[in-house]
Amino acid sequence: MSVLTRDEAQNRAARIGLRRYTIDLDLTRGAEVFGSTTSVRLCVLEAGTDTFIELEAAALHRIALDGNELDPTLYADGRYPLTGLGEGEHEVLVEADMYYSRTGEGMHRFTDPADGETYLYTMCCMSDAPKVFACFDQPDLKAVFEVTVTAPPEWTVLGNGVATRVGDTADGRWQLAPTQPISTYLMAVAAGPWHSVRTRHAGLPFGLHVRRSLGAYLDADADELFDITRRCFDRYHEIFDEPYPFDSYDQAFVPEFNSGAMENPGLVTFRDQFVFRSAVTEGERQSRAMVIAHEMAHMWFGDLVTMRWWDDIWLNESFAEYMGFQILTEATGYTDTWADFGVRRKSWGYDADQRPSTHPVAPEPDGVPDTAAARLNFDGISYAKGASALRQLVAWLGEQHFFAGINDHFTLHRFGNATLADFIDALARASGRPVPEWADAWLRTTGVDTLTPQISEGPDGWELRLPHEGSRPHQLTIGCYDLDADTGRLVPRTPLRWNVPEDETHTAAGRRPDLVLVNDGDYSYVKIGFDERSWQTIAAALSGLPDALSRAVVWNAARDLVRDGKLAPTDYLDVLRAHLPRESDVVIVQGVLAFARGQIADRYLPAEQRPAALATLVDTCRELLARTADGSAPGLRLAAVQTLADSTADPAELGDWLAAGAVPDGPELDPELRWRLLLRRSVLGAVTLADIEEELVRDSSATGQEGAARCRAALPDVAAKEAAWAELFDKDDLSTYLATATAEGFWQPEQHELLRAYLARYFPAVADLAARRGPAIAQAVGRFGFPHHAVDEQTLRLGEDCLREANPIPALRRRFADELDDLRRALRVRAAQATATPATAG
């Protein structure tokens, strides 16, 4: 399939306009292919136009232009040429068979192992629409979509518009209401014997849908899901002048979904792990609610007004990311969402922005030359950094001017396309501020600024300086705290408002604060350091900071200091051991434990120090369990159980829990916890294949299949490793989810000697696999299958050789480039830790 270039898209958009897609999908042709008949009404703007229509067909049966048959043999490389088109209206008709996908791209087909039922759904973003229907696949050629679907009669069909059965029920025919003009990547259909819960709100039908085997779990959560949906919907209508622009709002939780969710107008699709079948923390419920708010924001930013080309994906994702957290804070009971953002999301942006693959939030157009390059920019920069930039923009402009500019933008470009320049112009008109200058500094630059306080004391007072490494302006808050030695609490003084670079010094009478916290409130995107006194205060009293967001800022800063080799990983663990048992925010607990377990223990410390690090985590979790034994904080308790299970060296204790079906004093072991415990026991060599199969009989669901694949791959013997390797690299029938699970289980630090021989095989094997199976599998096996435990020069050399010699596809090249940069960082951290001390934190 040819990759669409920006130049080709611009050339095509200058010569044609689209009116309507009429699509007829036949989902009754068996398990391998479906029928796709597409009629496209277009207007040619210039006589003698040469263009092309895109299609990835299993078989092209017919193509006609204005009723005249064309030669199907001219179809090649995913395109059919349309030459010499006259000015005016035309119709292209395409009849084809299309392949179902097993990797979540195009029309994905899934058979539920729990009951044998089959489900289908589309994922057309960002360039996969031609896997479903013939189209002119670029975001600035919007059209009305009118879709008809033939499905097995017992199925339900969902789509962008209200779906209605037509004809006899036994025919299985469904008509979807015509849409407003939308882009091809937003076309959506989902079909299967869905379990549905429906209601109405604001005069519109709302629906929740999931596969039948998860129906009871959806029923248990439906009230909460609808409540979040209604609250967000109403809040968006309070701040946006433009009402919700589509005829319904369905949310389908679909199996084996590669993304978190997709903003198809009228039919948002989510990964069905968001329908919780096992216990989760409040932080995980909050994250689900944020995704609901995020996707709803896209109904305006992305669906109503769409970027012209993929260089402006930040207009979609950064905006939705910012609005998701902000609206959740304003409209629901989740009031600490920005602490969640700081812990879960912002570090994603910081990490991406310090790699060689970094790019501006808003790249120059020539920085995104084609759709393959654009696919790589759905990353921590476009989401988390962009949202941070918008939060800083709101702090600078004020909310009133920000939303006035947004509403102006919607009015001017409704159901059309817009660029960064259009958006910036709207904000400048509304505010009267030099927004283009701000955009140049924030959106056209790369990297992370750093601010590190320097404090001097004299007989009459103290002075603060804030040296700035970087070029961006920042409006931020500096928190000043005094330590109450009797209670261990940090008592806030009046915070300082600081403008970088305008403010150079602050002088105050009296004693300096014990803790000076730069970027308190987390309003800017910047790395911070600490002076020595402030770090000593943190080490003594971090849990005494009164606000969760302030604590999140400190933990994030400490994480950055470890990654930069300025704070020894063992010193981070010391602070964790002292203060995490007293932490009340479950999101912070989960984030800190995840970094300590996945990065410090497995990568940043040499192998001989790993057991002590894991023991520290286990001891911390035991203290959290002791503190929560009364049932007062089930989320904290669950987080502690999860990390203890991941970190313990005692498989017998986990075996006792499995036998009892519960952890002492709770929680009971639900399916996810049972698989988690079994995985650790597999790693430690305490289970057999028969034990895994016995657990699979207990839980034969899709999640159970993934758990079993993960455990099989984790067994510490040659036969198990060879079998897992063959499943991953010698066969092409694993779904993305099962490939991910197998890859996750394969590499284990405890099995380093057993796995050594596989290192040289890994890189060329993944390159070959990616070339055969495409970007989704490449991302999964390149990320989750990377040998993260092998922090050595040999792994680095093997990876660099692969990049240089194996010519991996773009998705894998980017993945490996990022993983290898993280490996170099881990090597630097190991080399630096002998000299890194708390005193160097600043």
Residues β-bridged to residue 17: 43
Alpha helices in 354-501 (DSSP H): 371-375, 386-397, 399-413, 420-431, 435-443
Residues β-bridged to residue 412: none
pLDDT of residue 681: 98
Residues with active-site annotation: 295
* C-beta separation of 449 from 472 below 8 A: yes
Does residue 31 register a pLDDT over 80?
yes
| Span 246-250, average pLDDT | 98
pLDDT of residue 336: 86
Q: What's the pLDDT tens digit per position in 733-755?
A: 999 999 999 999 999 999 999 99
pLDDT of residue 839: 43
* C-beta separation of 313 from 377 below 8 A: yes
Which residues have C-beta within 8 Å of that of residue 626, sequence separation ≥ 6? none
pLDDT of residue 808: 96
Phi, psi of 636 (to 5 degrees): -60, -40
pLDDT of residue 835: 65
Does residue 831 register a pLDDT over 90?
yes
Which strands make up the sheet holding 249-254, listed edge to edge?
A: 195-201, 204-210, 249-254, 267-271, 261-262
| Span 637-666, average pLDDT | 98
Cα end-to-end distance, the chain, whole Å:
51
Q: What's the pLDDT tens digit per position in 680-736?
A: 999 999 999 999 999 999 999 999 999 999 999 999 999 999 999 999 999 999 999
State how far Cα 99 lies from the chain centre. 27
Domain boundaries in the chain?
Answer: 6-277, 722-842
pLDDT of residue 188: 98
Largest CA-CA distance found in the chain, in angstroms, rounded: 93
* C-beta separation of 96 from 683 below 8 A: no
Does residue 838 register a pLDDT over 60?
no
pLDDT of residue 367: 86
User: What is the four-CA torsion angle of 323, 327, 329, 331, rounded to 10 degrees?
Assistant: 180
Quote the CA–CA distance of 52 and 37 in Å, as a whole number. 17
Q: What is the DSSP string of 621-640?
A: HHHHHHHTTTSS-HHHHHHH
Quote the CA–CA distance of 420 and 418 in Å, as a whole number. 7
pLDDT of residue 81: 98
What percent of the chain has pLDDT above 70? 99
Q: What's the pLDDT tens digit per position in 457-480?
A: 999 999 999 999 999 999 999 999
Does residue 842 register a pLDDT over 90?
no
Tokens of residue 325, six digits? 């957290």
pLDDT of residue 171: 87
* C-beta separation of 818 from 429 below 8 A: no
Please check whether the domain covering 6-277 is classified as CATH 2.60.40.1730: yes
Quote the CA–CA distance of 420 and 431 in Å, as a whole number. 17
Q: pLDDT band at residue 841, thresholds of 50, 70 and 90?
A: very low
**Strand duo 461-465 + 468-469: pairing:** unpaired
| Span 117-128, average pLDDT | 97
Q: What's the pLDDT tens digit per position in 772-820?
A: 999 999 999 999 999 999 999 999 999 999 999 999 999 999 999 999 9
Quote the CA–CA distance of 821 and 563 in Å, as a whole number. 12
Quote the CA–CA distance of 377 and 59 in Å, as a whole number. 32
Quote the CA–CA distance of 496 and 534 in Å, as a whole number. 16
Indicate the average pLDDT of the chain: 96
pLDDT of residue 836: 53
pLDDT of residue 1: 73
Which residues have C-beta within 8 Å of that of residue 828, sequence separation ≥ 6? 565
| Span 826-840, average pLDDT | 75
Q: pLDDT band at residue 364, thresholds of 50, 70 and 90?
A: confident
Tokens of residue 149, six digits? 């679907």
Tokens of residue 305, six digits? 């007004």
| Span 597-601, average pLDDT | 98
Q: pLDDT band at residue 837, thresholds of 50, 70 and 90?
A: low
What percent of the chain has pLDDT above 90? 96
Q: pLDDT band at residue 833, thresholds of 50, 70 and 90?
A: confident
Q: Positive or negative, the Cα torsion across 559, 560, 561, 567?
A: positive
Which strands make up the sheet holding 156-159, listed edge to edge?
A: 106-111, 118-123, 189-192, 156-159
Quote the CA–CA distance of 769 and 785 in Å, as a whole number. 12
Does residue 450 register a pLDDT over 70?
yes
Tokens of residue 574, six digits? 């010391």
Helix (H, G, I), strand (E, B), or coil: what is residue 501?
Answer: coil
| Span 484-498, average pLDDT | 96
**Strand duo 106-111 + 118-123: pairing:** antiparallel
* C-beta separation of 291 from 327 below 8 A: no
